[in-house]
Amino acid sequence: AAEAVGIPVTGIDLLVPDVTAEEYVFVEANERPGLANHEPQPTAQAFVDFLFPGRPGLPQAWTPEEPPGRD
């Protein structure tokens, strides 16, 4: 679906009455998938890892060498 609409990530909403069956209904595709709805799974982290494949994992804190305004 993401490729069909030309965006890198697409949220797909499905109705799945029985996860063990093959039947489902496609409801919609969203260009801004809601990531907060899936708390038990690290959905947001997987999304960021997808967008930045060379840098998986949590971002590292950045500390400037000198405070701003000290020239």
**2-61 tens-digit pLDDT:** 777 777 778 788 999 998 999 999 998 887 776 666 566 677 777 777 778 877 666 667
Residue 36: partners with Cβ closer than 8 Å, 6 or more residues away: 44
* 3-class DSSP assignment, residue 29: strand
Report phi then psi at 30, rounded to 5: -120, 135
Q: How far, in Å, CA of 35 to CA of 69, rounded?
A: 38
Q: Does the predicted model carry a pTM greater than 0.75?
A: no
Q: How far, in Å, CA of 56 to CA of 49, rounded?
A: 5
